[in-house]
């Protein structure tokens, strides 16, 4: 879908992005991760030609973007940034309608689309549509930013630390919803962040950058199990394993059958939407060897440490709609 | 981000380089002003080149050193008075007693811009007679405004943190004023002084209308007698003087801002 | 509105009343002259107004007392504003009547001028109203009460009750030329501010494109801004005269070393600065995120300018326009000095003859126009939703 070849950006004497070759498959959630100054934003901005590369090429669906009209290219990619960049002189409706208007959609189609988009990001169109950006909270503004980026149904979404400026709890909600939207709409997303938790939670694949060079790219599990160098290992730190466990859910675990006797009644219970990390915490916290896994309150089977490990190596991420975000059985 | 660091490379000129650049613009202006005022032969030769077909190039009634003297005396007297009065009024508006009048002082200060300064000179004639006095009245009134407004803006612009810190280390209000508030407000106040001087140089040129002398005199005579040399004889030194004062006080007064 | 401001208003309103009372008793209230040039004894308002003097003093006293009273804020605001406006209106009305009475006694050549304390009393009324309106919330009531005295005086002028005041006599003697010079003055303002607006917008946008452009544009504009008005016109005069001598088209347009051409050039040059400065400041202080988003979303340069940058910068640009308008209206007075006409004509004629009323015939319309422009553009700013716009 998107491919870069030997992509390089130099500012007098200083190389911001150095011969980066990456490819992002259709429908994939790709994260560009790295410390500040690593060139990830510059790399992202070369994808829609906000920054012109010094050398190298960007291909979208096999076509070299250098030959395209920059504005047309940008309209075919949604764009979301940290400060949301909502236009303060326009209502929320008009903000969301920007790209459809640029593309010359007729009014009815645009209106309908705006309603759908606001609903998609969980905002009531009647309430929020007529408001101005300065009347929204940070989280709401960020939702509108996503709605605006998606309005013209672009196959690709570029996101530059979109949730960097919102509080941690709102950020987690937004991340989970972003993941849902991306899966539902099968969008290809390129997402820039310096937050490891965010990267590991969202990514199908991560490219870790440093000084403009890709240190390693692959699934989070790859980067965890087979770090290419010390920088990769040190950057993720010792918590990466736990973070990866948070990507997987008990619903992916092959459960052992409930023992026929009533002995399982004494075991701690947990919902099948909980993450492996939560399950591990439950095992360690209660000192039990096994957990009873429930679906809608009905016990379905049991899981022990070994079954968690099997699920982790299978590498399946939480399926749609199962993950609850906060896993303990209420 | 790399884009920003790349942009930030442009070096800030050092303090000494700025001083040099300052004097590189000021010195020629000073030289030009002095030359036009005192080198009668040279300056009249220049005027003759600029306006070839004129019999007389220099205004007979009053010599340039005297005209420049009039001009400087008007500006200096009025500006000194305005500085004292404006400083006092601006300071008053910031005291506990003066506080209620702050808004109306600022408001009147802004509204007074609607009255042309030369109108004030004309209206002062019945009270003061012709000559330097009506000009001084007008110049003081007009000079007072930028001083008051900038004293208020300067002191009010002192960051609350600096104010708190000064109070916190146990300074008395007077100590705080002298060692914290005034130094921090100084660039803004200096901007007001520069404004006042520039306005006053311009207004003093109009003083010729009410027979106060000054560099406006040959300009007006030139208009009446269709003598372009007279006009330039007054206009060029007046322009040099205004630019000199402006440039002299510019580097410390800071960058332009929106009103 | 903070509590402090509301308490401060009491002090200001009471001070205004005291100033008004003082003004009533100091000499130079009205100046009667048997004819236009002769000097004559000024009298205080107190002695000029007779019984009405008692009413005047009562109005001021009541305004001061009510301002300090413990009445509810709204009641106090309404009453004090009315009284603060009524006193100056009464003064103007009675001065007109006294002038008429004097004219009846002393004949057609007699003149009655308003003395300094009339203007002081108008200022006192302004102080009282300015303070008292702090107690009222914005809205039609406040606006109505504030401008009622202005309308009252306008009505007095229109009704002809002030016709025997010296300034009105000057107007009557110069009615034809007044209309012409008034139009000319407005033309100068419109042309210069129009040119200044277009040039200022373009230069401001240009300056916002980079540091070196900014330095270049404002380097030139700063110099122009500093040039003394008369010297600037003087500098243009030989240039224009020579242009007109050498280029027939300029001569046909009536470009000369004196007259409208140097005036419009100089006033436009001054008007450019506040507009360019505010345009530049507004554009460079726009949220970079917004501009980034506009670009990233695929807006072209022109569209970004038209739909995002200019609308967002508009309040600040209009603030610059307001400064330019007020400044140019006052500045156009110099046209009268260099053969350009306009309301300055009366000022300089009057200055030559020491005829204060003729000077006022030029000055008062200039001030009124400038104030109207100021308030008008302020209202526009607020209508555009700029809540920070201040008087």
Q: Which of A199-203, B69-73, C248-252 has the highest mean pLDDT?
A: B69-73
Number of domains chain C contains: 2
Q: Is pLDDT above 90 for B91?
A: no
CA distance A97 to C82: 51
Three-state SS string over C338-382 comes to CCCCCCHHHHHHHHHHCCHHHHHHHHHHHHHHHHHHHHHHHHHHH
**pLDDT the model gives residue C387:** 57
Question: To probe the interface with C, which of B122, B123, B141, B238 has the most C CB atoms within 10 Å?
Answer: B122
pLDDT band at C389 (very low <50, low <70, confident <90, very high): low
Residues A151-175: tens digit of each pLDDT: 988 999 999 998 887 888 888 888 8
**pLDDT the model gives residue C110:** 85
**DSSP bridge pairs for C114:** C30
Q: Assess if residue C388 is contained within a domain.
A: no
Q: What is the mean pLDDT of residues C250-262?
A: 83
Q: Which residues of C touch B10 (CB under 8 A)?
A: 211
Give the distance from residue B9's alpha carbon to the nearest chain A alpha carbon, in angstroms. Answer: 10
Q: Is pLDDT larger for residue C81 or for residue A258? A: C81
**DSSP bridge pairs for C42:** C31
Q: Is pLDDT larger for residue A317 or for residue A155? A: A155
Does A39 reach chain B within 8 Å, measured CB to CB? yes
Provide the 10 A C-beta neighbour count for residue B7.
11
Which of A14, A17, A36 comes nearest B6 by C-beta?
Answer: A14
What is the overall mean pLDDT for chain C?
90
Q: Identify the chains in contact with A, defined as 3+ C-beta pairs within 8 A.
A: B, C
Q: Give the helix ranges, DSSP H, for C45-106.
A: 45-49, 51-68, 73-106
Counting residues of chain A whose pLDDT is more than 70, the rounded percentage is 95
Q: Are residues C184 and C140 in the same domain?
A: no
Which of A81, A88, A99 comes nearest C312 by C-beta?
Answer: A88
Chain B residue with the nearest C-alpha to that of A51: B3
B216-224 and B228-253 helices cross at what angle (nearest 10)?
A: 150
Q: Are residues C179 and C282 in the same domain?
A: yes
**pLDDT the model gives residue A266:** 83
pLDDT band at B5 (very low <50, low <70, confident <90, very high): very low
pLDDT band at A317 (very low <50, low <70, confident <90, very high): low
Residues B135-172: tens digit of each pLDDT: 999 999 888 988 999 999 999 998 888 888 888 888 88
Q: Tell which residue, B113, B219, B124, has the closest CA to residue C359.
A: B124
Q: Assess if residue C93 is contained within a domain.
A: yes
Which of B113, B235, B259 comes nearest C235 by C-beta?
Answer: B235
DSSP string, C260-316: HHHHHHHHHHHHHHHHHHHHHHHHHTS-HHHHHHHHHTT--HHHIIIIIIHHHHHHH
Question: Which two three-digit tokens encode residue B185?
Answer: 């407000």
Residues C146-172: tens digit of each pLDDT: 999 999 999 999 998 898 888 998 898
CA distance A193 to A159: 9
How many inter-chain contacts (A to B, CB under 8 Å) are there?
26
Q: Which of residues 128-187 of C touch B (CB under 8 A)?
A: 130-131
Q: Which helix (H) or strand (E) holds A188?
A: strand A188-193
Lowest mean pLDDT among A22-26, B176-180, C259-263, C330-334: B176-180
Q: Are residues C98 and C212 in the same domain?
A: no
Q: Assess if residue B88 is contained within a domain.
A: yes
Q: What is the ipTM of this complex?
A: 0.86
User: First vs last Cα of chain C: how many Å apart?
Assistant: 15
Q: What is the mean pLDDT of residues A78-83?
A: 84
* Polymer length of chain B: 259
**pLDDT the model gives residue B168:** 82
CA distance A209 to A22: 11
CB C288 within 8 A of CB B253: no
Lowest mean pLDDT among B21-25, B230-234, C101-105: B21-25
Chain C residue with the nearest C-alpha to that of A49: C296
Which of C130, C257, C351 comes nearest B104 by C-beta?
Answer: C130
Residue at which a domain ends, from C132, C167, C202: C167
CATH number at residue C269: 1.10.3720.10
Does B3 reach chain A within 8 Å, measured CB to CB? yes
Helix (H/G/I), strand (E/B), else coil: A79: strand
Partner-chain contact B3 A51, CB within 8 Å: yes
**pLDDT the model gives residue C386:** 63
- The set of residues, in sequence order, having a beta carbon less than 8 Å from that of C291 and lying 6+ positions away, is A85, C304, C308, C309
CATH number at residue B36: 1.10.3720.10
CB-based burial, C316-338: b 16+ in 10 Å, e otherwise: bbbbbbbbbbbbbbbbbbbbbbb
Q: Which of residues 219-258 of B touch C (CB under 8 A)?
A: 219-220, 222-223, 226, 228, 231-232, 234-236, 238-239, 242-243, 246, 256-258
Domain residue limits at C52: 3-167
Does C306 reach chain B within 8 Å, measured CB to CB? no
CA distance A77 to A315: 30
Burial of C310 (0-12, 13-18, 19+ CB in 10 A): middle
Q: Which residues of B touch A12 (CB under 8 A)?
A: 6, 9
Q: What is the mean pLDDT of residues B109-113?
A: 82
φ and ψ at residue A213, rounded to 5 degrees: -115, 145
Q: Are residues C330 and C266 in the same domain?
A: yes
Q: Assess if residue B14 is contained within a domain.
A: no
Q: Are residues C304 and C157 in the same domain?
A: no
**pLDDT the model gives residue A315:** 60
Q: Is pLDDT above 50 for B115?
A: yes
What letter would DSSP give residue A228? S
Counting residues of chain B whose pLDDT is more than 70, the rounded percentage is 91
Q: Which residues of B touch A36 (CB under 8 A)?
A: 1
Partner-chain contact B1 A37, CB within 8 Å: yes
Residue at which a domain ends, from C125, C143, C167: C167
Give the distance from residue A167's alpha carbon to the nearest chain C alpha carbon, in angstroms. Answer: 19
Whole-Å CA distances, C66 to B210, C132, C145: 45, 10, 16
- The set of residues, in sequence order, having a beta carbon less than 8 Å from that of B77 and lying 6+ positions away, is B132, B136
Q: Are residues C333 and C224 in the same domain?
A: yes
Question: To probe the interface with C, which of A83, A89, A153, A161 has the most C CB atoms within 10 Å?
Answer: A89
Number of domains chain B contains: 1
Q: Assess if residue B3 is contained within a domain.
A: no
**DSSP bridge pairs for A290:** A304
Give the distance from residue C136's alpha carbon to the nearest chain A alpha carbon, in angstroms. Answer: 27
Chain C residue with the nearest C-alpha to that of A72: C298
Q: Is pLDDT larger for residue B31 or for residue B112? A: B31
Q: Are residues C229 and C339 in the same domain?
A: yes
**pLDDT the model gives residue B252:** 43
Residues A98-155: tens digit of each pLDDT: 989 888 899 999 999 999 999 988 899 999 999 999 899 888 998 999 999 989 889 9
Q: Are residues C65 and C120 in the same domain?
A: yes
Q: Are residues C143 and C292 in the same domain?
A: no
Question: To probe the interface with A, which of C291, C297, C315, C316 has the most A CB atoms within 10 Å?
Answer: C297
Q: Assess if residue C154 is contained within a domain.
A: yes
Q: Assess if residue C391 is contained within a domain.
A: no
- The set of residues, in sequence order, having a beta carbon less than 8 Å from that of A265 and lying 6+ positions away, is none
Q: Are residues C34 and C60 in the same domain?
A: yes
**pLDDT the model gives residue A214:** 93
Chain A residue with the nearest C-alpha to that of C291: A85
Question: Which two three-digit tokens encode residue A142?
Answer: 């960020």
**pLDDT the model gives residue A94:** 92
Q: Are residues C20 and C84 in the same domain?
A: yes
Lowest mean pLDDT among A36-45, C24-33, C281-290: C24-33
**pLDDT the model gives residue A54:** 93
Residue at which a domain ends, from C110, C143, C167: C167
Q: Are residues C128 and C180 in the same domain?
A: no
Provide the 10 A C-beta neighbour count for residue C352.
14
Give the distance from residue B242's alpha carbon to the nearest chain C alpha carbon, in angstroms. Answer: 6
Q: Is pLDDT above 70 for B1?
A: no
Q: Assess if residue B2 is contained within a domain.
A: no
Partner-chain contact B6 A36, CB within 8 Å: no
Q: Assess if residue C331 is contained within a domain.
A: yes
Q: Is pLDDT above 80 for C294?
A: yes
**pLDDT the model gives residue B253:** 40
- The set of residues, in sequence order, having a beta carbon less than 8 Å from that of C181 and lying 6+ positions away, is C336, C341, C342, C343, C345, C346, C362
Domain residue limits at B73: 20-253
Partner-chain contact C293 A102, CB within 8 Å: no
Sheet strands side by side (includes A205-210)? A77-81, A156-160, A188-193, A29-33, A205-210, A213-218
Does C323 reach chain B within 8 Å, measured CB to CB? yes
**pLDDT the model gives residue C232:** 94
Give the distance from residue B216's alpha carbon to the nearest chain C alpha carbon, in angstroms. Answer: 7
Counting residues of chain A whose pLDDT is more than 90, the rounded percentage is 38
Domains in chain A (CATH in brackets) are 2-245 (3.40.50.300), 250-314 (3.10.580.10)
């Amino acid at each position: 879908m998107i491919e870069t070849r030997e992509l390089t950006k130099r500012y007098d004497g200083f190389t911001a992005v150095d011969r980066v070759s990456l490819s992002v498959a259709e429908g994939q959630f790709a994260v560009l991760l790295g410390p500040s100054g690593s060139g990830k934003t510059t790399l992202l901005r070369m994808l829609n030609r906000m920054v012109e590369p010094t050398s190298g090429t960007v291909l979208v669906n096999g076509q070299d973007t250098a030959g395209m009209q920059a504005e047309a290219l940008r309209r075919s990619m949604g764009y979301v940034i940290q400060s949301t960049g909502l236009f303060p002189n326009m209502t929320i409706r008009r903000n969301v309608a920007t790209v459809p208007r640029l593309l010359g959609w007729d009014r009815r189609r645009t209106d309908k689309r705006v309603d759908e988009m606001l609903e998609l990001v969980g905002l009531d169109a009647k309430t929020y549509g007529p408001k101005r950006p300065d009347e929204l909270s940070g989280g709401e503004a960020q939702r509108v930013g996503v709605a605006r980026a998606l309005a013209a149904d672009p196959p690709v979404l570029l996101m530059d630390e979109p949730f960097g400026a919102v509080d941690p709890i709102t950020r987690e909600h937004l991340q989970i919803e972003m993941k849902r939207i991306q899966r539902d709409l099968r969008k290809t997303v390129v997402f820039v962040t310096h937050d490891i938790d965010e990267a590991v939670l969202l990514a199908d694949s991560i490219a870790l950058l440093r000084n403009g060079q890709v240190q390693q790219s692959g699934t989070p599990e790859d980067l965890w199990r087979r770090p290419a160098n010390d920088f990769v290992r040190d950057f993720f730190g010792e918590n990466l394993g736990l973070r990866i466990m948070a990507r997987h859910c008990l619903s992916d675990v092959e459960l052992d059958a409930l023992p026929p006797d009533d002995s399982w009644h004494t075991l701690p219970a947990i919902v099948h939407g909980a993450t492996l990390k939560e399950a591990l915490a439950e095992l360690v916290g209660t000192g039990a060897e096994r957990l009873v896994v429930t679906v809608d309150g009905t016990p379905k089977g049991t899981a022990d440490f070994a079954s968690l490990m099997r699920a982790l190596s299978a590498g399946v991420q939480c399926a749609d709609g199962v993950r609850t975000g906060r896993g303990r059985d209420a | 981000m790399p884009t920003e660091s790349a942009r930030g490379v442009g070096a800030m000129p050092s303090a000494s380089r700025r001083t040099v650049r300052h004097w590189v613009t000021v010195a020629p202006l000073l030289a030009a002003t002095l030359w036009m005022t005192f080198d009668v032969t040279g300056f009249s030769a220049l005027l003759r080149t600029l306006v070839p077909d004129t019999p007389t190039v220099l205004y007979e009634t009053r010599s340039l050193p005297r005209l420049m003297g009039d001009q400087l005396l008007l500006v200096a007297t009025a500006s000194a008075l305005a500085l004292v009065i404006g400083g006092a009024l601006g300071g008053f508006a910031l005291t506990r007693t003066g506080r209620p009048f702050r808004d109306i002082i600022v408001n009147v200060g802004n509204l007074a811009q609607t009255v042309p300064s030369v109108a004030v000179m004309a209206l002062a004639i019945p009270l003061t007679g012709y000559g330097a006095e009506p000009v001084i009245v007008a110049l003081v009134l007009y000079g007072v405004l930028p001083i008051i407004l900038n004293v208020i803006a300067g002191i009010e612009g002192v960051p609350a943190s600096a104010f708190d810190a000064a109070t916190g280390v146990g300074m008395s209000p007077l100590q705080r004023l002298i060692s914290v508030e005034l130094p921090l407000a100084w660039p803004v106040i200096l901007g007001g002084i520069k404004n006042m001087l520039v306005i006053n140089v311009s207004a003093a040129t109009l003083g010729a209308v009410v027979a106060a002398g000054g560099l406006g005199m040959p300009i007006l005579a030139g208009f009446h007698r269709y003598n372009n040399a007279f006009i330039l004889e007054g206009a060029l030194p007046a322009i040099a003087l205004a630019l000199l004062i402006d440039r002299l006080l510019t580097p410390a007064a800071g960058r332009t801002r929106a009103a | 509105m903070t509590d402090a401001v509301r308490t401060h208003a009491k002090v200001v309103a009471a001070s205004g009343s005291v100033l008004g009372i003082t003004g009533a008793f100091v000499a130079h209230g009205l100046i009667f002259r048997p004819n236009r040039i002769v000097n004559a004894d000024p009298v205080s308002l107190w002695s000029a107004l007779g019984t009405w003097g008692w009413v005047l003093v009562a109005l001021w006293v009541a305004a001061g007392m009510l301002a300090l009273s413990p009445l509810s804020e709204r009641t106090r605001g309404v009453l004090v504003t009315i009284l603060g406006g009524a006193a100056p209106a009464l003064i103007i009305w009675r001065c007109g009547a006294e002038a008429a009475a004097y004219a009846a006694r002393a004949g057609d050549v007699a003149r009655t001028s308003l003395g300094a304390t009339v203007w002081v009393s108008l200022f006192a009324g302004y102080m009282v109203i300015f303070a008292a309106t702090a107690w009222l919330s914005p809205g039609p009531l406040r606006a109505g009460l504030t401008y009622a005295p202005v309308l009252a005086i306008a009505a007095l002028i229109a009704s002809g009750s002030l016709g025997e005041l010296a300034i009105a006599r000057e107007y009557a003697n110069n009615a034809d030329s007044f209309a012409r010079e008034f139009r000319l003055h407005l033309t100068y303002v419109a042309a210069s501010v129009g040119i200044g607006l277009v040039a200022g917008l373009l230069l401001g946008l240009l300056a916002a494109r980079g540091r070196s452009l900014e330095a270049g544009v404002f380097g030139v504009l700063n110099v122009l801004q500093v040039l003394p008005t008369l010297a600037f016109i003087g500098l243009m005069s030989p240039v224009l005269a020579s242009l007109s001598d050498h280029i027939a088209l300029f001569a046909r347009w009536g470009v000369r070393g004196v007259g409208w051409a140097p005036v419009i050039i100089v006033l436009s040059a001054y008007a450019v600065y506040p507009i360019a400065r505010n345009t530049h400041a507004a554009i460079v202080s726009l949220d970079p995120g917004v501009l980034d988003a506009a670009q990233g979303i695929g807006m072209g340069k022109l569209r970004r300018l038209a739909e995002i940058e200019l609308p967002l910068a508009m309040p600040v640009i209009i603030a610059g326009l307001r400064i330019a308008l007020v400044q140019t209206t006052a500045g156009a007075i110099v046209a009268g000095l260099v053969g350009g006409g306009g309301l300055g004509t009366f000022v300089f004629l009057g200055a030559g003859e020491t005829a204060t009323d003729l000077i006022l015939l030029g000055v008062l319309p200039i001030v009124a126009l400038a104030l109207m422009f100021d308030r008008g553009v302020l209202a526009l700013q607020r209508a555009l939703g700029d809540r920070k716009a201040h008087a």
